[in-house]
Structure 1
Amino acid sequence: MGKKDGESKPRGRMSSYAFFVQTCREEHKKKHPNDTVVFTEFTKKCAEKWKEMTPKEKKRFEDMAERDKSRYEREMSSYVPTGGQAKKRKRTKDPNAPKRSLSAFFFFCAEERPSVRAANPGIGVADVAKELGKKWEVCPNKPKFEQLASEDKSRYERDMVAYRGGSGASAVPKASPKKAKVEAEDDDDEDEDEDDDDDE
C-alpha cells in the first residue's frame, strides 16, 4: 500500500467502497487462486453485496478510508511537485490570424440580447442564453441570420487564403462581427434603394 520506488506524487486516497472491492478480490483470490475473474461481473456482484450491507458492516471499510484519507493529506502536505513532469502546452493563437466566422445563431444573439436583457432585468448570463435559445427555435427571420453567417463564412475563407498565402499577416483587413453585420445591413439598404429607384 506504500509508495512504489521512483514515485514522487502520493498515491490517491481510496473510498470505503474501493477498500471493500479490494478486500473481496483478495478473499476471492485466496479461495480460488486459479480462477480468472471477469472484472465487470465481479464488480457487479460487489456492488450488489455493498448495497445489502448494514452501516455496521460498512464501518470497517469506512474506517480504512478515513485512515487512508489522513495518510493522503499527510503525504500531500509535504509533497512538492518535481519539474520533471511534462505539462501540456497551451497552443498560442496567432494574433494576426483572421477571426473565425460566426454562426447564424450568434448573429441572432447579437441582435436579440439587448431586448432579452431589457425584458428580463437582473437575470444571469445562463438564463439570457436559455431565453435566446427559446427565441431562436421560433425565429421567423432565420434566413436573414443564415445569410449573415454565410457572408461572414465567405469573409473568413477569403481572409484565411490571404493569411496562409502571405507572410503570416492577413492581407485583407479583418472586420469584426459587428462591422460585418452593419456592412451587411448597409448592403441590404442599398439594394432596397435600388429597388425603389426601379419602381419609379
Structure 2
Amino acid sequence: MRADRDKLRHDNEMATYVPMAGDGGKRAVKRKGRDDPIRPPSAFFLFCGCRRGEVMKPNPVFAAGDIANTLARMWSECPPDEKVKYDVLAKSAEEKYTALVDVNKDEQQRKLSGAKKPRKEPSSSSGSDSSDGDSD
C-alpha cells in the first residue's frame, strides 16, 4: 500500500519536474591524473608499515582486520618518544608532498594558459656554435 502511494507521489512530482539549467545539478568530480602526487602517509600508517612484519610473522593466519587491530593497539601503547620518530617522518613526507602539489599546480596552470615550459639554457661546454647538424 505504502509503496503504491509513494509511486503515485513520485510520478506526480516527476510530471512537473524541470531539471536545472547547465550541468543538471551534478558536481564535476576532479579526477586525479597520472602525474598527481599521492597523499603522504600519516605517522600511524608509517608505524604500521614498519611493524606489520612483526605482527604477521608469529600470526600468519591473521586476517587483515586482526592485523589492523593489533597494530592499532601497539600504536596506542607505543611510548611518545617513539611516536615522535614517526611524526617527524610524516612531517617530512607532507613537506615533500606539498612541494610536489605546488609544482603540479604550476604545470597545470601553464597548460591551461597555453604557455610553454621554460627552456633550459644550453650549456656552453660544447665550444661549437654551429650545432645544427649540417655537415656536408
Gaps of 5+ in 1: 9-84, 170-200
Which is bigger in relative contact order (C-alpha 8 A, separation at least 6)? 2
Q: Displaced runs of 4+ in structure 1, greater than 3 A?
A: 85-91
3-state DSSP of counterpart to 1:98: coil
Specify the alignment match of 2:50 in structure 1: 111
CA distance, structure 2, for counterparts of residue 105 and residue 5 of structure 1: 50
Q: In the superposition, relative to structure 1, how do residues 126 and 161 fare at CA in structure 2: closer, same or farther (>3 Å)?
A: same
The one of 77, 92, 95 aligned to 1:151: 92
User: Does the aligned pair in 2 maintain the 1:96–1:168 contact within 8 Å?
Assistant: no
Give the superposed CA RMSD. Answer: 2.8
3-state DSSP of counterpart to 2:8: coil
3-state DSSP of counterpart to 1:4: helix
Report which of the two has the higher share of helix: 1
Gaps of 5+ in 2: 13-23, 111-136
What amino acid is the match of 2:11?
A: E
TM-score (norm 2): 0.58
What amino acid is the match of 1:108?
A: F
Specify the alignment match of 1:179 in structure 2: none
| Bigger radius of gyration among the two | 1
CA distance, structure 2, for counterparts of residue 88 and residue 124 of structure 1: 38
3-state DSSP of counterpart to 2:57: helix
Question: 1:7 aligned to 2:11?
Answer: yes
Q: CA deviation at 1:167?
A: 3.3
Question: 1:127 aligned to 2:66?
Answer: yes
CA distance, structure 2, for counterparts of residue 156 and residue 5 of structure 1: 51
CA distance, structure 1, for counterparts of residue 93 and residue 68 of structure 2: 22
